[in-house]
């Protein structure tokens, strides 16, 4: 069931961690499930899946829109730019129930955004590039065990033993989850007054 | 006696008319409010403190008519708590309104701010005050994207 729900992404991750016979993948040193745990995990397939997700695209557009608004508020002076807060992206659409992002990430724990490039042009046009780091833990919280709606969350009931075992291993037997890290850069051609690059 | 049915009918129409225009129940999601220090180096060098305050409200009604600007602005004007917050002149004060959905229902049921991220697609509008002055245009948000930002052309790259 978990393989079905996460088809596309989880098998890619799984193949890098666990051999087909169920033993941990060898990357030059002896592995146990204990020392795989807690490690930072990044993967281009996971990052590509995040980039193509509608919720993430919405987050990226809002981020650039807010950046432009804040830069406009300080007259385009980067030194005076103030930090601002926007909500973390979440992979909780109905599509994410079956494309793997719901299982592998779902809610993002925290996001870091760094300014990589700022190239001013003519007529208040500029190009901006931001580095976005999404961090999450590949674990279960107590809220993940709650079934609010049996119609849309039937998989939690179907695989309840797997979810409960996963939760117990993490919270009672000290199997620290992987730290999922998705790093990507987003950019756009914007205009201080109108958002869009003015030709 | 013959006027009684007519009177009842009139009363019914009046009640129905009132319910169509009754104000929706708007609930303060107080456990999601936050206050952040957003001072930058320039502020610190000039001994200035810049703070950002965020307030969140849940509109307990399914109809889009319930989150018209006129209704929400009237609520903001009549709410003492919000008016007091505006008077504090934070560098930035944002008030976000969420519509009813399975995610906002879960948020209200669990009363855990962790669920707020799952409600990004349920934001209908966000009002902003910069140093006590309301911005001319509220941020209308549809399917999680601020209106006017949906056509931004994104340039992506992935670190290999």
Per-residue H/E/C for chain A: CHHHHCCCCHHHHHHHHECCCCCECCCCCCCCHHHHCCCEECCHHHHHHHHCCHHHHHHHHHHHHHHHHHHHHCCCCHHHCCCCCCCCCECCCCHHHCCCHHHHCCECCEEEEEEEEEEECCCCEEEEEEEEEEEEECCCCHHHHCCCCCCCCHHHHHCHHHHHHHHHHHHCCCCCCCEEEEEEEEEEEEECCCEECCC
pLDDT at A33: 46
Q: Is A120 within a domain?
A: yes
| Minimal Cβ distance to A82: which of B38, B103, B112 | B38
User: Strand, helix or coil at B96?
Assistant: strand
Mean pLDDT of chain B: 84
Residue A172's pLDDT is: 85
Q: Please say if the pLDDT value at position A29 is more than 50.
A: no
Q: What is the pLDDT of residue A143?
A: 73
Q: Is residue A112 part of a domain?
A: yes
pLDDT recorded at residue A44: 84
Whole-model pTM: value is 0.80
Tokens of A186: 């987003």
Percent of residues, chain A, with pLDDT higher than 90:
28
- How remote is the C-alpha of A146 from its chain's centroid? 22
Confidence of residue A7 (pLDDT cuts 50, 70, 90): low
Q: How many domains does chain B have?
A: 1
Summarize the confidence of residues A186-191 as an average pLDDT.
93
Q: Give residue B71's pLDDT.
A: 92
Q: Is residue A86 included in any domain, yes or no?
A: yes
Whether residue B48 has pLDDT greater than 70 = yes
Instruction: Please give the pLDDT value at position B11.
Output: 46
A163 pLDDT exceeds 60? yes
Residues 6+ apart with CB under 8 A from B2: none
Asked if the structure places residue A8 within a domain, the reply is yes
Q: Cβ contact (<8 Å) for A62 and B144?
A: yes
Instruction: Tell me if A51 and B118 make a contact (CB, 8 A cut-off).
Output: no
Token pair for B39: 């001072």
A152 falls within a domain? no
First to last CA, chain B: 85
Note the Cα A166 to chain centre separation in Å: 20
C-alpha to C-alpha distance for B71 and B59, rounded to whole angstroms: 11
Q: Do A152 and B103 touch (CB under 8 A)?
A: no
- Report chain A's mean pLDDT, rounded to a whole number: 80
pLDDT at A31: 43
Count chain A–chain B contacts defined by CB atoms under 8 A: 119
How many Å separate Cα B3 from the centre of its chain? 46
What pLDDT is recorded for position B8? 53
| Mutation to test the A interface, candidates B98, B145, B151, most A Cβ within 10 Å | B145
Confidence at A3, pLDDT banded by 50, 70, 90: low
Domain containing residue B59: 25-146
Q: Let me know if residue A80 belongs to a domain.
A: yes
Q: Which of residues 78-117 of B touch A (CB under 8 A)?
A: 91-92, 102-103, 105-106, 109-110, 112, 114-117
Alpha helices in chain B (DSSP H): 4-20, 41-45, 69-78, 80-87, 102-110
Residues from chain A contacting residue B144 (CB–CB below 8 Å): 55, 58-59, 62
CA dihedral of residues A140, A141, A144, A146 (deg, nearest 10): 140
pLDDT at position B155: 87
Q: Give the C-alpha separation, A63 to B146, whole Å.
A: 10
Strands A179-191 and A40-41: parallel
Least confident of A132-141, B103-112, B150-159: B150-159
> Does the beta-carbon distance from A82 to B50 stay under 8 Å?
yes
Range of the domain at A88: 2-23+31-139+177-196
Tokens (6 digits) for A36: 């795989």
Cβ neighbours for B34, distance < 8 A, ≥ 6 positions apart: A85, B53, B54
Q: Give the tokens for residue A40.
A: 């930072």
Whole-number Å distance between alpha carbons of B39 and B36: 9
* A33-89 tens-digit pLDDT: 445 556 777 888 888 889 999 999 999 999 999 999 999 988 899 988 888 888 899
Q: Is A41 inside any structural domain?
A: yes
Chain B residue at shortest CA distance from A109:
B114
What pLDDT was estimated at residue A55?
93
CB contact under 8 A, A82 and B151: no
Interface test mutation site (partner A, options B141, B149, B151, B160, max chain A beta carbons within 10 A): B149
Instruction: Compute the nearest-CA separation of A87 from chain B (Å).
Output: 6
Respond yes or no on whether ipTM tops 0.95.
no
pLDDT for position A12: 59
Distance between CA A140 and CA B135 in Å, rounded? Answer: 40
Q: pLDDT grade, residue B39 (50/70/90)?
A: very high
Is residue B140 in a domain?
yes
Instruction: Count how many domains chain A has.
Output: 1
Dist CA B154 CA A188 (whole Å): 5
Q: Please say if the pLDDT value at position A91 is more than 50.
A: yes
pLDDT at B23: 67
Inter-chain touch A92–B103, beta carbons under 8 Å: yes
**Whether residue B157 has pLDDT greater than 90:** no
Average pLDDT on B93-121 reads: 91
CB contact under 8 Å between B92 and A87, yes or no, is no
- What mean pLDDT comes out for the span A166-185? 85
**Structural contact between residues A186 and A111, judged by C-beta atoms closer than 8 angstroms:** no
pLDDT at A106 over 80: yes
Query: Are A97 and A140 within 8 A, CB to CB?
Result: no
B151 inside domain: no
């Amino acid at each position: 069931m978990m393989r079905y729900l996460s088809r596309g992404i989880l098998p890619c991750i799984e193949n890098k961690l666990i051999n087909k016979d169920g033993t941990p993948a060898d990357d030059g040193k002896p592995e146990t499930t204990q020392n795989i745990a807690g490690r930072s995990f990044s993967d281009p397939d996971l990052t590509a899946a995040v980039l193509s997700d509608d919720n993430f695209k919405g987050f990226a557009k809002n981020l650039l829109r807010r950046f432009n608004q804040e830069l406009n508020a300080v007259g385009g002076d980067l030194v005076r730019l103030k930090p601002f807060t926007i909500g973390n992206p979440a992979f909780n659409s109905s599509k994410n129930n079956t494309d793997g992002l719901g299982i592998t990430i779902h809610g993002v724990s925290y996001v870091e955004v760094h300014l990589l490039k700022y190239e001013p042009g003519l007529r208040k046009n500029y190009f901006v590039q931001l580095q976005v780091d999404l961090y999450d833990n590949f674990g279960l919280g107590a809220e993940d065990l709650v079934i609010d709606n049996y119609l849309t969350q039937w998989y939690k009931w179907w695989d309840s033993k797997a979810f409960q075992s996963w939760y117990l291993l993490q919270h009672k037997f000290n199997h620290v989850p992987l730290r999922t890290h998705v790093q990507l850069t987003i950019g756009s051609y914007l205009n201080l007054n109108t958002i869009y690059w003015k030709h | 006696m013959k006027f009684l049915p007519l009177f009842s009918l009139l009363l019914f129409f009046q009640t129905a008319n009132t319910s169509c225009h009754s104000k929706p129940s708007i609930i303060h999601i107080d456990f999601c409010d936050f206050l952040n220090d957003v001072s930058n180096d320039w502020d610190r060098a000039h001994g200035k403190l810049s703070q950002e305050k965020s307030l969140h409200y849940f509109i307990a009604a399914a109809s889009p008519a319930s989150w018209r600007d006129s209704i929400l602005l009237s609520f903001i004007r009549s709410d003492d708590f919000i008016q007091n917050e505006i008077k504090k002149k934070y560098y930035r004060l944002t008030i976000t309104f969420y519509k009813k959905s399975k995610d906002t229902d879960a948020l209200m049921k669990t009363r855990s701010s962790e669920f707020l991220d799952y409600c990004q697609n349920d934001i209908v509008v966000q009002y902003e005050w910069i140093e006590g002055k309301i911005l001319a245009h509220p941020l209308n948000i549809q399917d999680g994207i601020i209106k006017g930002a949906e056509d931004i052309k994104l340039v992506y790259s992935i670190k290999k």
